[in-house]
Amino acid sequence: MRTTTLSPAERGGGSLIAAAALLWGTVGVTTQSLYQLNTTNALSIGFFRLALAAPLLLLACTLLYRKTWRLRGRDVALAVLLGALMAGYQVAYFTAIRDAGVTIAVLVTLCTAPVLAAALGALLLGERLTWVVAVALVGALLGTGLLVGVRPGAGTDGHVGVGVLFALVAALGYVAITICGRLLSPAARPLEVNAVAFSAGALLLLAGALPVGLVTSYALPSWGLLLYLGLGPTALAYILFLAGMRHTTATVATLITLLEPLTGALLAWAVLGERLAPLSLLGALLLLLALGLLAWAPAAEPGV
């Protein structure tokens, strides 16, 4: 039997990506804890997340690249557009967490996004719809339906239904971010792009939050959570991910990032005491299997 041995660099890159995925997996519990400790809103949480992360990314760019900033013209405009999409994603995702709970919001957003991206690529860009994408799409739809409680003889909680809708909007926002990122020139450095995008997104969220009430009054533990949200699963996680991608293939990286929804769901169970009914557990499993199938497909079917 043929085996594949990873080089030390590849193993190190995979470890960095795994660390980033684990950090991203803590976003849901951190956000729900903020809602429980303070009266706040998704716009305010999203603003502080990006506003606290942007300076660290800009500092990293300054230290690494000094006077060799490459981002120019069209790529700057795309980075700003990425920032706007990220801002919208933050609001939709954090609203989904508030209304549907961490487990459902995390699983629906993170597991349906890649499936929707593949399906929309086939629908809008003329890409071939493989059996893998079709099966993953059906599994994701069934899983989402079971999670939200759309089944015979069971009512759907209004807040959960709204939360799932926001989770699907967040997933579509994630797809738009991915498409926009593909339009960047090969010369654009990801760290520079993220530094500009986070800065632009923070400014847009600030502009949106001020008219409805930017929440700045938080208890000390909540400020600690906001600081962690901005520096840990945002700035540091993106730096780790980008560093890891230098030595890891896209397929391996995609498989490793499966840790994110798993971590989010497990933390919601362990920290917040969130529980799923048996059919909802089946829905969660279908979502994870759909994402895993899509991630595994490129390795199993080269050229597809």
Q: Kindly state whether residues 166 and 290 are assigned to the same domain.
A: yes
Q: Kindly state whether residues 105 and 139 are assigned to the same domain.
A: yes
Q: Is residue 90 part of a domain?
A: yes
Q: Is residue 97 part of a domain?
A: yes
Amino acid at 221: P
Task: Spell out a b/e string for 57-92, using b for 16 or more CB atoms within 10 Å of the CB, else e.
Answer: bbebbeeeeeeeeebeeebeebbbbbbbbbbbbbbb
Q: Is residue 262 part of a domain?
A: no
Domain that holds residue 226: 33-70+189-247
Q: Kindly state whether residues 169 and 296 are assigned to the same domain.
A: yes
* Higher-pLDDT residue of 301, 147: 147
- Say if residue 3's pLDDT is above 50: no
Asked which of 28-42, 118-132, 206-220, 262-276 is least confident by mean pLDDT, the reply is: 118-132
Q: Kindly state whether residues 197 and 179 are assigned to the same domain.
A: no
Q: Kindly state whether residues 61 and 169 are assigned to the same domain.
A: no
* Higher-pLDDT residue of 59, 142: 59
| pLDDT tens track for 5-51 | 555 555 677 788 889 989 999 999 999 999 999 999 999 999 999 99
CA distance 13 to 291: 21
Element (H, E) at 293: helix 278-300
Over residues 272-296, the mean pLDDT reads: 79
Q: Kindly state whether residues 149 and 163 are assigned to the same domain.
A: yes
Residue 226 C-alpha from the chain's centroid: 17
Element (H, E) at 138: helix 131-148
Q: Is residue 5 part of a domain?
A: no
Q: Kindly state whether residues 78 and 175 are assigned to the same domain.
A: yes
| pLDDT tens track for 130-184 | 777 778 778 877 877 777 664 333 334 557 888 989 999 999 998 888 888 878 8
Q: Residue with structure tokens 């933050």?
A: 90
Q: Is residue 241 part of a domain?
A: yes
The total of structural domains in the chain comes to 2
Q: Kindly state whether residues 135 and 212 are assigned to the same domain.
A: no
Q: Residue 86's pLDDT band (boundaries 50, 70, 90)?
A: very high
Q: Kindly state whether residues 204 and 232 are assigned to the same domain.
A: yes
Q: Kindly state whether residues 150 and 296 are assigned to the same domain.
A: yes
Residues 6 or more apart from 25 whose CB is under 8 A from it? 106, 233, 259, 260, 261, 262, 263, 264, 267
Q: Kindly state whether residues 83 and 167 are assigned to the same domain.
A: yes
Residue 301 is predicted with a pLDDT of: 40
- Say if residue 128's pLDDT is above 80: no
Q: Is residue 61 part of a domain?
A: yes
Q: Is residue 111 part of a domain?
A: yes
Ordered DSSP codes for 93-122: HHHHHHHH-HHHHHHHHHHHHHHHHHHHHH
* Nearest CA-CA partner of 85 in 179, 212, 167, 20: 179
pTM of this prediction? 0.83
Q: Kindly state whether residues 79 and 130 are assigned to the same domain.
A: yes
